[in-house]
Structure 1
Amino acid sequence: MTRTPRTTARPASPAGRAVAHAHSSRSLPLPAAHRGSRAAAGGDPGGAVRKTVLPGGLRVVTQSVPDVRSATFGIWARVGSRDETPALNGATHYLEHLLFKGTRRRSALDISAEIDAVGGEMNAFTAKEFTCYYARVLDTDLPLAIDVVCDMLTGSLIRSEDVEAERGVVLEEIAMTEDDPGDCVHDLFARTMLGDTPLGRPVLGTNETINALTRDRIARFYRRHYDPTHLVVAAAGNLDHDTVVRQVREAFEAAGALADAGAEPVGPRTGARRIRTAGRVEVLDRGTEQAHVVLGVPGLSRTDERRWALGVLSAALGGGMSSRLFQEVREKRGLAYSVYSYTSGFADCGLFGVYVGCRPNLVHDVLKICRDELDHVAEHGLDDEELRRAVGQLAGSTVLGMEDTGALMNHIGKGELCWGRQMSVDDMLGRISAVTPDDVRSVAREILGQRPSLSVIGPLTDRQSARLDEAVA
């Protein structure tokens, strides 16, 4: 099974130093290429999103794309690793594996063989706030995908022997992740910033928690979080909404999953959590060739309207080959191969980070450059040309990211689950193009003006580790 790359959203925090800037009311126009695109000129890559709420609180959202020959069907569950107690850490992801192990109607081999036999692909991913199961097939095979995925979600047996067999697989996945320090450092950064909290703990769990999980505890977790009120069904491709709704309803009713006709859907997560961590340094000693570094600060929740300005800021700082950090660290000085900035947004908080992979003896030079650039942008902002490039990059990646039925299914499913509404590509492009230079400068002062924290994985000497405090002073 796969895990989602860390969710992209945007940062928030105390105001930084106030600096007056000109051009306060001008928005950043979309490049002509994006203004003339199909999404910008005539709507989304597909048709309108339709939604039906079935008895039992099950939501079904679809987007028709008549000019393709495929369809992607998914079911989103409003449960992630942040819903786990310390003893249950890793249970959501473990359960994701177990739903592929067999139902009352199908064995594990039947589940995979039926999708393989039509050339489809099937997978799932677990994140901190949701889990998704999906299948991508030819449009003519959509009824099969609906039946198989719905059967998995409603009829899983979660047998003791499957729990024991899959335990080793999950432990191997943990080991595989730990063997990839470029991935593992982001889990370390989450722990550095969020501590021993549900959001700070790893999605996969640990060897200790996975070994301690029992069949009964996982089954209780399944029953508590997989009722229809916590689920969103999403489908995109060459499909008919009413037909999908009928097939989904038949599958759930056959499993007895819509018995509570008066149940209402559970709404999006809410909250106003603040991250107050500053100046923390965590180092994990590993015998790697590179040191893997994340320097970052608290960010914005995924519902914060400033996230559009922060997205533009992140693109300008470290979103591409022309970005400020890429140019300063890699192109001008040749100190690293990989350097980028990113944002992670949750329902009630977020993170902003800069990642660099470099030789251990270059860590301090790289961190000084990154810190100097962040401090400079926090005080002076970015010039208009950088901002225009960033807007164009963000707009282009938004449109290109919607070019297949799987991406559309993700977009509408996550939109319903996390926001309770849909935002079209036109809407998103409009929000991006409406960002003003002052919006970006304001977010830069607030976010980049904070004292950062630092996470490092690599073979640093005691002397090198002792000097890391300089980067967060």
Structure 2
Amino acid sequence: MTAGFQATARTSSEARAVARTQTLLKGRDGIGTVRRTTLPGGLRVVTETLPTVRSATFGIWVQVGSRDETPALNGATHYLEHLLFKGTSRRSALDISSAIDAVGGEMNAFTAKEYTCYYARVLDTDLPLAIDVVCDMLTGSLIEAADVDAERGVVLEEIAMTEDDPGDCVHDLFAHTMFGDTPLGRPVLGTVDTVNDLDRDRIARFYKKHYDPRHLIVAAAGNVDHATVVRQVRKAFEKAGALSRTDAVPVAPRDGSRAVRTAGKVELLDRRTEQAHVVLGMPGLSRTDERRWALGVLNTALGGGMSSRLFQEVREKRGLAYSVYSYTSGFADCGLFGVYAGCRPSQVHDVLKICRDELDRVCAEGLGDEEIHRAIGQLSGSTVLGLEDTGALMNRIGKSELCWGAQMSVDEMLGRIAAVTPDDVRAVARDVLGHRPSLSVIGPLKDKQAARLDEAVS
């Protein structure tokens, strides 16, 4: 049984009649120009042209993630990501992988809380192949029962691998600490129980519901021609019968549902590890909050590098941890701000006290002007350096279209960062760091140590 799109009698000429193309960002001498074409069925194609390179990255973003799962379906989005590599009516799993390997390309996918992405990076001359393979996977997956059963073991091994890495697992625990048993609080990979309960029919229904062209963003960056990419994508999707609904419009960016977050909660997972892994954090900002630029500067100054406060206080001055950093996560309607550290179990309370003291100090006093200016420079540099390959460019334009429905130039991003003032940083520090924190810990803490964890969130 084919789980993919079903062909219809509508002609390709009818489909072409409703395609709409816009230039979203004008580059210099054609370099960095971003265009969007909306095809029938609500499918959007965005490209960024960089003719000075010899590579291209092609990706398809899907507006579905673990946040869209019911408790019984937890892990279905990630499971489905695996299954789309298992074969279509035109290609076997080996055909899919060998096609890209044969041209020296790279192909992969990832699943997050609010979206999924499939992509391939190839030489520019091999872009038509990448488009054909990835589009075939997205529209023509068979999702055979035998493949579901075979891949179950692979997904369970991935869950086991994550659980064997407490430095990774503690972030899943922190999401649960903050959001509880809700879609944002449950792990993207699912659990052993939920993955074992998923069957072919449930996953196929999930695929049919969410992999609709209205929910898809096609993104390509590098030495690409927009019109050629659109033509090739349109051909692939029309072949699958996916562009027949000429009245369909793209879904709007997700607006969320105001997730409930907790404060002052402590969760401890007792593991026989060499280190204790801790995340101390509180509610952050949504990805659309205009204060996110100031929060980015605050995060960089607090724990974003070797000169940051937390790195200096915890590692450099006291030698209490090898890894210590802060981070932000922004969702459609909410966010998280967290501080991570890995240390010897006997020193966990010293580390937590230093981190809490620094958060409280910055909340009350703000950051110095020199710290802020240094953080602005660091954030600006890392933003540009992080966009030096076609994969990063594809991620930027695809995620921007999916999450914001708009594109922002690098110059505009740098301008937003540079415009952050000390008052902006002090205000967002009060707003975010003023919340009572919650705490997640993985490690072999003794009873007396565990009993004292509440001190960090009181």
Provide the TM-score with structure 1 as the length reference: 0.90
Match of 2:11 in 1: none
Query: Does residue 122 of the first structure (1) align with residue 94 of the second (2)?
Result: no
Match of 2:116 in 1: 131
* Aligned partner letter, 1:390: A
User: 223, 226, 229: which one pairs with 1:244?
Assistant: 229
Match of 1:148 in 2: 133
Separation in 2, partners of 1:173, 1:277: 29
Separation in 1, partners of 2:269, 2:453: 13
* Aligned partner letter, 1:420: G
* Aligned partner letter, 1:169: V
Separation in 2, partners of 1:276, 1:214: 32
- What does the per-residue CA deviation read over 1:416-466, in whole Å, with 9 as the maximum and x for residues that have no partner? 001000011111101000101000000001111111000000000011000
Provide the aligned C-alpha RMSD in A.
1.1
Match of 2:443 in 1: 458
Deviation at 1:277, TM superposition (A): 1.1
Match of 2:309 in 1: 324
Match of 1:10 in 2: none
Structure 1 residues 326, 223: CA separation in 2 closer, same or farther (over 3 Å shift)? same
Match of 1:255 in 2: 240
Separation in 2, partners of 1:251, 1:271: 32
- Contact kept in structure 2, 1:312 and 1:390, CA below 8 Å: yes
Deviation at 1:271, TM superposition (A): 3.8
- Contact kept in structure 2, 1:90 and 1:206, CA below 8 Å: yes
Match of 1:195 in 2: 180
User: 191, 198, 210: which one pairs with 1:225?
Assistant: 210
Query: Does residue 61 of the first structure (1) align with residue 46 of the second (2)?
Result: yes
| Structure with greater contact order relative to length (CA < 8 Å, sep ≥ 6) | 1
- Contact kept in structure 2, 1:300 and 1:345, CA below 8 Å: yes
User: 396, 406, 412: which one pairs with 1:427?
Assistant: 412
* Aligned partner letter, 1:78: Q
Separation in 2, partners of 1:280, 1:230: 36
- In the TM superposition, 1:5-84 aligns within 5 A as 46-84=31-69
Count of residues in Structure 1 that have an aligned counterpart in Structure 2: 432
- Contact kept in structure 1, 2:167 and 2:277, CA below 8 Å: yes
- What does the per-residue CA deviation read over 1:176-201, in whole Å, with 9 as the maximum and x for residues that have no partner? 00000000000000000000000000
Match of 2:23 in 1: none
Deviation at 1:262, TM superposition (A): 1.1
Deviation at 1:45, TM superposition (A): 11
Structure 1, 336-345 or 262-271: larger mean CA deviation: 262-271
Deviation at 1:275, TM superposition (A): 4.1
Deviation at 1:155, TM superposition (A): 0.1
Query: What SS class does the counterpart of residue 56 from structure 1 fall into?
Result: helix
Separation in 2, partners of 1:331, 1:307: 28
* Aligned partner letter, 2:307: S
Query: Does residue 411 of the first structure (1) align with residue 396 of the second (2)?
Result: yes
Q: Any runs of at least 4 consecutive aligned residues in structure 1 with deviations exceeding 6 A, and if so which? A: 42-45
- What does the per-residue CA deviation read over 1:225-246, in whole Å, with 9 as the maximum and x for residues that have no partner? 0010000000001010000000
Query: Does residue 382 of the first structure (1) align with residue 374 of the second (2)?
Result: no
Query: Does residue 315 of the first structure (1) align with residue 318 of the second (2)?
Result: no
Separation in 2, partners of 1:437, 1:362: 34
Query: What SS class does the counterpart of residue 339 from structure 1 fall into?
Result: strand
- What does the per-residue CA deviation read over 1:40-77, in whole Å, with 9 as the maximum and x for residues that have no partner? xx879941110000011100000000000000000000
Query: What SS class does the counterpart of residue 244 from structure 2 fall into?
Result: coil
- What does the per-residue CA deviation read over 1:318-358, in whole Å, with 9 as the maximum and x for residues that have no partner? 00000000000000000000000000000000000000000
Give aligned-pair identity as a percent: 82
- In the TM superposition, 1:290-369 aligns within 5 A as 290-369=275-354
Separation in 1, partners of 2:270, 2:85: 36
Separation in 2, partners of 1:165, 1:274: 35
Structure 1 residues 348, 182: CA separation in 2 closer, same or farther (over 3 Å shift)? same
- Contact kept in structure 2, 1:45 and 1:403, CA below 8 Å: no
Structure 1 residues 402, 46: CA separation in 2 closer, same or farther (over 3 Å shift)? farther
Separation in 1, partners of 2:417, 2:257: 24
Q: Which blocks of at least 5 consecutive residues in structure 2 are unaligned?
A: 1-26
* Aligned partner letter, 1:441: R
- Contact kept in structure 2, 1:81 and 1:91, CA below 8 Å: yes
Separation in 1, partners of 2:74, 2:259: 22
- In the TM superposition, 1:385-404 aligns within 5 A as 385-404=370-389
Structure 1 residues 276, 83: CA separation in 2 closer, same or farther (over 3 Å shift)? closer
Separation in 2, partners of 1:433, 1:271: 29
Separation in 2, partners of 1:96, 1:171: 14
